[in-house]
Amino acid sequence: MIMHWYDPRPWIGRRKRVRRIFHLKESCNPEEVCRDLYRFGGRPVRVLHHLGMVIGEFVHDAEAIGLLEGHPYVQHWEPDLRVTITEPYAKKVSDSSTPRLPWGVRQVEANRVWSMTRGKAVKVAVIDTGIDYDHPAVKDNYRGGVNILSSMLSPYDYNGHGTHVAGTIAGRAVETGLVGVAPRAYIYAVKAFNRRGTANLSDLLSAINWCIENKMQVVNMSFGMEKMSESLRWAIQKAYRRGIIMVAAVGNKGIYGKVDFPARYPETIAITATDKRGQIASFSNYSQEVDVAAPGEMIPSSWINGGVREISGTSMAVPHVVGTVALLLYLRPDLTPEQIRRILTASAVPVTGLRVGRVNAYRSVQLLTHARI
């Protein structure tokens, strides 16, 4: 649950507010910090109990610094950074000749295991721009969610990115070919990005807190940031310890030797993208932190207003892996994040020139059912 705090005093004018993230020491009382925020001229915006953090807002940054000097409950703090979804490299509206199955779903051979598992009822959170939950491809698997940006509103998608991701994970519109890797998984929209595809770090932390609170099993993170964040790292570690599998995009700048956060954290499963030839996509980042590759070039999937669109990017590769994880968790809900990682990497199809292989749902399920894991 995300707790919202309101200052009974009128906020000062319309001056720009500054947010800061306060990471609290273990076993401290967040209410004490919230009272001190008022005392130092700020106000608490959210208390993230599962993460041990308080989000505070100030008119002047100096007030936040004043709070921190010698405060007995604050372990460290950091500014509220801006984060973007991993911007698609190319996109276009699909024509009417959508195949029976999207090429990425066919390439990972998900359909070969649907007689055994379709990921039924596995809880998948999509931290993104929301989801068009009325779309024919996703409406049957949509199970709700939260709008982190405005708790009184639904997590509807006005951008398209989150809807596209959701369709690749769990689309089930067979008649139009919009079928996902795990077409019976339950999809939850965790809207942390606005219609322009940007978010505050504090919103992402709130999104992860919600995923822990609501016992999500898999989290799709098709976003990235270049700067290291201690708060985000702490949140990822907290979710990891709860057994949540977190899959993240490595970025779309075509850089070798560097990937975005949170994919760079060891607790996440880091995904690079491959093209239709099965080789690493020209736009995809790559480094030693990458765990597995997945199809990411011109992926057809659902779009807002009931549409269909093809998009390229590591954002599109991540849901292929998330769907594969859902297929595995249906068969073995007790699998840990590290067991999932080992299955995915051990069953991957080799990719020319890469240390890692491309995800293969059929081989992953075969490995799970025939090996002692």
Indicate the DSSP class of residue 330.
Answer: H
**Type and span of the H or E element at 202:** helix 201-213
Catalytic residue among 36, 80, 128, 132: 128
Percentage helix, strand, coil for the chain under 3-state DSSP, each rounded to 5? 30, 25, 45
Indicate the DSSP class of residue 14.
Answer: T
Catalytic residue among 135, 161, 164, 320: 161
**Type and span of the H or E element at 189:** strand 186-191
Indicate the DSSP class of residue 256.
Answer: B
Six token digits for residue 74: 């604050």
Omega into 262 within 30° of 0, i.e. cis? yes
Instruction: Report, in angstroms and rounded to the nearest whole number, the Rg of the chain calculated over CA atoms.
Output: 21
Beta pairing, strands 82-85 & 223-224? antiparallel
Burial group, residue 132, by CB count within 10 angstroms (0-12, 13-18, 19+) = buried
Would you say the C-alpha torsion 338, 339, 340, 343 has a positive or negative sign? positive
Residue 161 known to be catalytic: yes
- Give the amino acid at 318: V
CB of 233 within 8 A of CB of 265?
yes
Question: What is the CA 310 to chain-centroid distance, rounded?
Answer: 20
Residue for token pair 């000062």: 12
Six token digits for residue 86: 């991993």
Residue 50 known to be catalytic: no
CA distance 112 to 295: 17
Six token digits for residue 313: 């990017």
Residue 128 known to be catalytic: yes
Six token digits for residue 32: 């004490």
Question: What is the CA 88 to chain-centroid distance, rounded?
Answer: 15
Catalytic residue among 315, 320, 347, 364: 315
CB of 73 within 8 A of CB of 28?
yes
CA distance 306 to 304: 5
Catalytic (active-site) positions: 128, 161, 315
